[in-house]
Amino acid sequence: MIQLIRGFKDILPGEVELWQKIEREARELLERFGFREIRIPVLEKTELFRRSIGEDTDIVEKEMYTFADRGGETVTMRPEATASIVRAYIQHKLYAPDPARRLYMVGPMFRRERPQKGRYRQFYQIDAEILGVASPLADAELVFLLTSLFRRLSVADVEAHVNSLGCAACRPSFRHALQEMLASVSDRLCEDCSRRRSRNPLRVLDCKVPECRAALAAAPSILDHLCTDCRRDFDLLQNALAALGVPYVVDPRLVRGLDYYTRATFEIQTGALGAQSAVAGGGRYDRLIAELGGPDLPATGFAIGFDRLAEIAGLNPEELRPQPDLFLAALGARARQAAFAWYCRLGERGIRVAMEFGEKSLKSQLKAADREGAAWVLMVGEEELARGTASLRDMRSKRQREVPLAGLVDRVAAMLTE
């Protein structure tokens, strides 16, 4: 028997209702704040991700699904959404006449990581971006939306971590201080960090290897190096969050794994996930649009790990299970034919319908109706056909009433929707 590929998964009925609920809530919330959906391709030119995510990242170094397509072009299955959204923003000139755009997308991402709990090779993200807006209020809005969504989904034990990564003016001085510190602990760093230490020292702060984390205990804080503008923006972000009552902690170790981030950076962490504690991450990437050949415009965004969110949402999947309003139980071929027409018409009228197509006893059909949680059962057999009525049974009260066959669809639809 052929099984699915390691690190990939099916989302089956029973679980999928939770995914649908999360997606519905996210779309509703984002659209209320003016975010519009964008759908981007799964496959892009590899160059797009190399340039936007950066060569020294885990993603580009070892996680991308990259292959030559039959025409010889090197293509990559998207490992994240921001690069593609920015490409589309530039390519379709979505910045004109007004650069401010709120965009979101929901869909699968692909990274060839070591599969483990909370880490898949195809996973899903809910991604939101505010392009063309420099104000730290945009960052505050994103953190607010994340915490608001998680609250609506009854996620417990979440904490927003915020930091500033500085800008081209002030980051170099931090980078220098960090590099000096890293030189002094170089023998304790993992292989990746030893390599990145000189080329991209900020990445070392992001390393998950416990020995590296320990070695970094004495690392300098970027917050001691912020320039006046970055300091002001970081204060504005914090003041906005405080005024909204959004709980947050300042976490000077928080850096994003991607090259294009500047200033505000944030992550939503939860104790409910064990080692994979980040359920969403994001921040400002003021340099990416220009770096990808577009105008010099700022932007900020987040990505939620959908799989992880589904794991920690405090919703009862049993309560989300769709249940039929009406189960049609027919006995005999003629009755089944009549019932089938009602089934189609009532479904079309907005009633959730279910029906047994085979020849089964009334008892076993009632049992099936009960199992599926049907609120009503419409019963019809030869006898009812001859009498010109069908029986409608309320499964809760067990009370039954007769419904004339003439105009049955209208009558039942009216009774069930009132």
**Distinct helix (H) and strand (E) counts, the chain:** 17, 16
How far apart (Å, rounded) are the C-alpha atoms in residues 369 and 363?
10
As measured in angstroms, the least distance from the Cβ of 85 to ligand ATP is 14
Q: Which residue's CB is nearer to ligand ATP, number 135 or number 277?
A: 277
Residue ranges of E strands in 205-350 = 248-250, 262-270, 278-284, 299-305, 326-330
Shortest gap between Cβ of 87 and ligand ATP (angstroms)? 17
Report how far residue 64's alpha carbon sits from residue 102's, in angstroms, rounded to the nearest whole number.
27
Exposure string for 206-241, b = 16+ CB within 10 A, e = fewer: bbeeeebeebbeebeebbebbeeebeebbebbbebb
Q: Which is nearer to ligand ATP, 119 or 345 (CB)?
A: 119
The residue among 209 and 375 lying less far from ligand ATP, judged by its C-beta, is: 209
Minimum CB separation from ligand ATP for residue 281, in Å?
4
Nearer Cβ to ligand ATP (111/225) = 111
Parallel/antiparallel/unpaired status of strands 101-110 and 122-131? antiparallel
Q: What is the spatial distance between Cα 73 and Cα 55, in angstroms, rounded to a whole number? A: 19
From the list 136, 140, 58, 123, the residue with the least C-alpha distance to 304 is 123
Quick one: 238 or 265, whose CB is closer to ligand ATP? 265
CA 315 to chain centre: 16
- In angstroms, rounded to a whole number, what is the distance separating the alpha carbons of residues 398 and 98? 61
Pick 279 or 355: Cβ nearer ligand ATP: 279
Q: Which is nearer to ligand ATP, 209 or 368 (CB)?
A: 209
Residue 282 beta carbon to ligand ATP: minimum distance, rounded to whole angstroms: 7
The nearer residue to ligand ATP, 309 or 329, going by C-beta atoms, is 309
State in angstroms the smallest separation of the CB of 40 from ligand ATP.
Answer: 16
Q: Which is nearer to ligand ATP, 23 or 325 (CB)?
A: 23
Residue 28 beta carbon to ligand ATP: minimum distance, rounded to whole angstroms: 21
As beta bridge partners, residue 108 has 124
Residues in CB range of 236: below 8 A, 6 or more apart = 135, 136, 137, 140
Give whichever of 125 and 238 is closer to ligand ATP, judged by the CB atom. Answer: 125
Helices (H), 107-227: 136-152, 171-184, 191-199, 202-205, 210-215
Nearest to 149 by CA among 273, 305, 249, 25: 25
User: Which tokens is 78 given?
Assistant: 């998207």
Query: What are the residues facing 266 on neighbouring strands?
Result: 162, 282
Structure tokens at 29: 């919330």
Instruction: Name the residue nearer to ligand ATP (CB basis): 130 or 369.
Output: 130
Cβ proximity of 166 and 141 under 8 Å? no
Q: Taking the complex as a whole, how short is the minimal distance between the CB of residue 182 and ligand ATP, in angstroms?
A: 20
Q: How far is the CB of 114 from ligand ATP (least distance, A)?
A: 9
Specify burial of residue 357 (Cβ count, 10 A radius: 0-12, 13-18, 19+). Answer: exposed
Which residues are at the interface with ligand ATP (CB under 6 A)?
A: 80, 111, 113, 118-120, 123, 125, 257, 276, 278-281, 303, 305, 307-308
Shortest CB 394 distance to ligand ATP, Å: 45
Smallest gap from Cβ 123 to ligand ATP, in A, equals 3
Q: What's the angle, vertex CA 214, arms to CA 58 and CA 251, rounded to 5? A: 75
Cβ 333 to ligand ATP shortest distance, Å: 51
- State which amino acid sits at residue 94: L
- Choose among 210, 156, 153, 203: nearest CA to 178: 203
